[in-house]
């Protein structure tokens, strides 16, 4: 496996939304997206199994998103991993590792996609190893006027994980 190679990808319809404050499924030009509101922290959760070709170390989570209508401002994303190792986690409650943040500018034209990479070290993915189930939580921080300044929804259209 080479650095930068893709490990997994998640489509918006694979979202396993939390009980509250979840991103809403929507469509634009018949393309699915998850709409993250500007005024409330909203999340999406994706489940996967780390494939055999993962060489250990960290991962890069790439968020492919667009703005519903804004053409200026920044979006602040958070990404967190929950490791579900063999007999190591009671899944009756959430146990996500500390979220890692990344800020990205809105594309200059509404509807154009932006690729935002969030780098996570091995410790930030809770020591996840091959063939283990995990959940990935993606959150947009509410517009606070400092880190997240984009008005309107941020539409997540795809998530993929690459080897660091």
Alpha helix (H) ranges present in the chain? none
How many other C-beta atoms are found inside a 10 Å radius of the C-beta of residue 129? 13
- Domains of the chain, start order: 6-163 (2.60.120.260)
Which DSSP category does 91 fall into?
T
Name the nearest CA neighbour of 56 among 138, 137, 120, 133.
Answer: 120
- Per residue in 117-151, pLDDT (tens digit) is 999 999 999 899 999 999 999 999 988 878 999 99
Provide the mean pLDDT of the chain: 93
- Per residue in 23-35, pLDDT (tens digit) is 999 999 999 999 9
Q: How far apart are CA 134 and CA 50, in angstroms?
A: 8
Query: How far lies 11's CA from each of 14, 21, 22, 73, 156, in Å?
Result: 6, 19, 16, 25, 9
According to the model, what pLDDT value does residue 107 have?
A: 94
């Amino acid at each position: 496996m080479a650095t930068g190679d893709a490990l997994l990808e998640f489509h918006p319809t694979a979202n396993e939304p939390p009980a509250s404050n979840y991103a809403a499924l929507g469509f634009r030009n018949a393309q699915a997206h998850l709409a993250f509101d500007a005024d409330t922290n909203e999340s999406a959760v994706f489940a996967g199994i780390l494939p055999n070709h993962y060489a250990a170390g960290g991962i890069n989570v790439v968020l492919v998103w667009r703005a519903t209508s804004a053409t200026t401002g920044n979006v602040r994303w958070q990404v967190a991993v929950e490791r579900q190792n063999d007999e190591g986690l009671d899944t009756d409650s959430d146990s996500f590792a500390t979220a890692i943040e990344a800020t990205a500018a809105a594309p200059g034209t509404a509807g154009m996609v932006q690729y935002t990479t969030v780098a996570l070290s091995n410790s930030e993915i809770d020591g996840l190893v091959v063939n283990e189930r995990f959940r990935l939580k993606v959150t947009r921080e509410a517009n606070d006027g400092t880190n997240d300044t984009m008005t309107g929804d941020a539409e997540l259209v795809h998530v993929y994980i690459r080897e660091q």
